[in-house]
């Protein structure tokens, strides 16, 4: 018997609902971005995001059910992001999940958003087994994790200041490239020279395992103010510096690791083609398969939450309706 999981996501500025089966069929996946609402502010405004989630989430759930041809009564469990993220938005999604679970008499699965990213490659690739090395690069996080099983994540490295996606967003803002920043920097970088502007590679080559991007952002600011470089050259040089940091830190872990099935990347920055290409080459160096979800599954969505819900539900992990929303929640 296949099980059907309804997933809800609302931890940042994407409102999303999806229906996914435990045999990896995506029956429906609906997503409403809020870029237009946040663009005038050059970043996500938590209060605006939370209000938008309230308005959009239930209509998205209804549309997803109709598209999938599924009644709420046919759903086996309801999975909602319970953190980490902007607390107002997380509460909207979790309370909606609880209400649906209570009304339909279905179990609730409270999903850690990072676990959603961490397991998303297994939704895309049925052959991906544990344990794998995961580079999780998003707007809020930059971590290397050894994913050993559902609920079993060993964090090997994290950022000591900004996340990689945050660095992309801040660079886009500094260069006036628009919001959201990551795709804008990638587009500008495609027209620029990655060697045009000398920029630092914080922590590269050091014995400690972590990431750092704050110094890189300051260097971008200085390069911009120097007024001698084109914005696309700065963007390309910045992107190359981030890639060099990601590769160096990941290589450091691969050199120490044993028994890995694959090198895997997930999270919004994993949508970046240059990041993907360089990681693929690194995996080949170590004779490992490289797994990256399709780009739509890298950035925030509800299919990954439904899938993490399916994995947890399959492992017998459900949650009490009293479970709390959490702004911070390390994996
Ligand atoms: O995973 P995600 O959608 O949300 C979080 O959980 O944070 O990641 C969003 C981040 C943003 O910082 C965005 O700028 C970045 O991912 N991003 C990219 C690209 N697409 C999204 N960064 C670099 N290149 C991209 N193509
Ligand atoms: Zn995310």
Ligand 1 site-directed mutation target among 299, 304, 327, 329, most atoms within 8 Å of CB: 299
Ligand 1 site-directed mutation target among 49, 120, 175, 182, most atoms within 8 Å of CB: 182
137 is in an annotated binding site: yes
Q: Ligand 2 center to residue 6 CA distance, Å?
A: 18
The per-residue pLDDT for range 188-200, each reduced to its tens digit, is 999 999 999 999 9
The per-residue pLDDT for range 3-62, each reduced to its tens digit, is 999 999 999 999 999 999 999 999 999 999 998 999 888 889 999 999 999 999 999 999
Residue 175: pLDDT over 90: yes
The percentage of residues in the chain with a pLDDT greater than 90, rounded to a whole number, is 96
Residue linked to tokens 């970088």: 189
- Specify the pLDDT at position 266: 98
Average pLDDT, the chain: 97
The phi and psi torsions of 126 (rounded to 5 degrees) equal: -65, -20
Q: What is the dihedral of CA 56, 59, 65, 69, to 10 degrees?
A: -130
> Rounded to an integer, what distance in angstroms lies between the CA atom of residue 78 and that of residue 88?
20
Q: Which helix (H) or strand (E) element contains residue 26?
A: strand 26-33
> Rounded to an integer, what distance in angstroms lies between the CA atom of residue 82 and that of residue 324?
7
Instruction: Put residue 83 in one of left, alpha, beta given phi > 0 → left and psi -120 to 50 → alpha.
Output: left
Contact 82, 9 (CB under 8 A): no
Atom of ligand 1 nearest to the CA of 300: 3
169 is in an annotated binding site: yes
The percentage of residues in the chain with a pLDDT greater than 70, rounded to a whole number, is 100
Sequence-distant (6+) residues with CB within 8 A of 175 are 185, 188, 220, 224, 231, 234, 235
CA-nearest residue for atom 16, ligand 1, is 268
Q: Ligand 2 center to residue 200 CA distance, Å?
A: 27
Q: Ligand 2 center to residue 135 CA distance, Å?
A: 13
- Specify the pLDDT at position 258: 87
User: Chain-centre distance of CA 211, in angstroms?
Assistant: 17
138 is in an annotated binding site: yes
The neighbourhood of ligand 2, an ion, using CB within 5 A, equals: 138, 300
Q: Ligand 2 center to residue 43 CA distance, Å?
A: 15
Residue 282: pLDDT over 90: yes
What's the Cα-to-Cα distance from 190 to each of 1, 16, 165, rounded to whole Å? Answer: 47, 30, 18
Atom of ligand 1 nearest to the CA of 113: 6
The per-residue pLDDT for range 99-126, each reduced to its tens digit, is 999 999 999 999 999 999 999 999 999 9
Atom of ligand 1 nearest to the CA of 14: 3
> Rounded to an integer, what distance in angstroms lies between the CA atom of residue 292 and that of residue 237?
24
- Specify the pLDDT at position 264: 98
> Rounded to an integer, what distance in angstroms lies between the CA atom of residue 77 and that of residue 108?
6
Q: Ligand 1 center to residue 10 CA distance, Å?
A: 15
For residue 283 the two structure tokens come to: 């995996």
**Single pTM value for the model:** 0.97
Q: Ligand 1 center to residue 167 CA distance, Å?
A: 10
* HSE-up (13 A, CA, CB side) for residue 301: 27
The strand pairing partners of 1, in sequence order, are none
Question: Which residues does ligand 1 sit against, CB inside 6 Å?
Answer: 12, 138-140, 165-166, 168-169, 180-183, 186, 267-269, 271-272, 299-300
What's the Cα-to-Cα distance from 2 to each of 76, 127, 209, 313, rounded to whole Å? Answer: 9, 18, 41, 12
Reported ipTM: 0.99
Per-residue confidence at 178, pLDDT binned at 50, 70, 90?
confident
Atom of ligand 1 nearest to the CA of 168: 14
Ordered alpha helix ranges (H), the chain? 35-38, 46-68, 87-104, 113-124, 164-174, 181-190, 214-226, 231-256, 273-285, 295-298, 303-314
- Domains belonging to the chain, first-starting first, are 4-118+299-314 (3.30.420.40), 129-292 (3.30.420.40)
- Specify the pLDDT at position 43: 85
Q: Ligand 1 center to residue 299 CA distance, Å?
A: 6
In the sheet with 14-21, reading across from the earlier edge strand, the strands are: 26-33, 14-21, 4-9, 77-83, 108-112
Atom of ligand 1 nearest to the CA of 141: 7
Per-residue confidence at 311, pLDDT binned at 50, 70, 90?
very high
The per-residue pLDDT for range 121-164, each reduced to its tens digit, is 999 999 999 999 999 999 999 999 999 999 999 999 999 999 99
DSSP string, 279-330: HHHHHHHTT--EE---HHHHSS-SHHHHHHHHHHHHTT--B-TTPPP-S---
> Rounded to an integer, what distance in angstroms lies between the CA atom of residue 70 and that of residue 5?
11
- Specify the pLDDT at position 164: 97
């Amino acid at each position: 018997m296949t099980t059907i999981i309804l997933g809800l996501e609302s931890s940042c500025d994407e409102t999303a609902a999806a229906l996914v089966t435990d045999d990896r069929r995506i029956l429906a996946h609906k997503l409403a971005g809020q870029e237009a609402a946040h663009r005038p502010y050059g970043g996500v405004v938590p209060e605006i995001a939370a209000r938008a989630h309230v308005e959009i989430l239930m209509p998205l759930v209804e549309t997803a059910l109709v598209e999938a041809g599924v009644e709420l009564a046919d759903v086996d469990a309801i999975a909602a992001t319970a953190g980490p993220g902007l607390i107002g938005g997380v509460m909207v999604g979790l309370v909606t999940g609880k209400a649906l679970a209570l009304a339909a008499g279905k179990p609730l699965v409270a999903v850690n958003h990072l676990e959603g990213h961490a397991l998303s490659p297994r939704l895309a690739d049925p052959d991906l087994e544990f344990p794998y090395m995961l580079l999780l690069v998003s707007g809020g996080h930059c971590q290397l994790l050894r994913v050993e099983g559902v609920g079993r994540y060993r964090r090997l490295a994290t950022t000591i200041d900004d996340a990689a996606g945050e660095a992309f967003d801040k660079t886009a803002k500094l260069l006036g490239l628009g919001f959201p920043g990551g795709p804008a920097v990638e587009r500008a970088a495609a027209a620029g020279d990655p060697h045009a502007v000398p920029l630092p590679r914080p922590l590269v080559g050091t014995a400690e395992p972590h990431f750092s991007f704050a110094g890189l952002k300051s260097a971008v600011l200085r390069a911009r103010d120097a007024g001698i470089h084109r914005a696309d050259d700065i963007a390309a040089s910045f992107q190359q510096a981030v890639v060099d940091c990601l590769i160096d830190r990941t290589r450091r872990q691969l050199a120490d690791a044993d028994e890995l099935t694959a090198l895997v990347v997930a999270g919004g920055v994993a949508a970046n083609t240059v990041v993907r290409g360089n990681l693929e080459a690194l995996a080949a160096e170590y004779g490992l398969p490289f797994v990256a979800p399709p780009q739509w599954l890298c950035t925030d969505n509800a299919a990954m939450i439904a899938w993490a819900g399916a994995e947890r539900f399959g492992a017998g992990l459900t949650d009490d309706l009293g479970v709390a929303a959490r702004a911070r929640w390390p994996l």
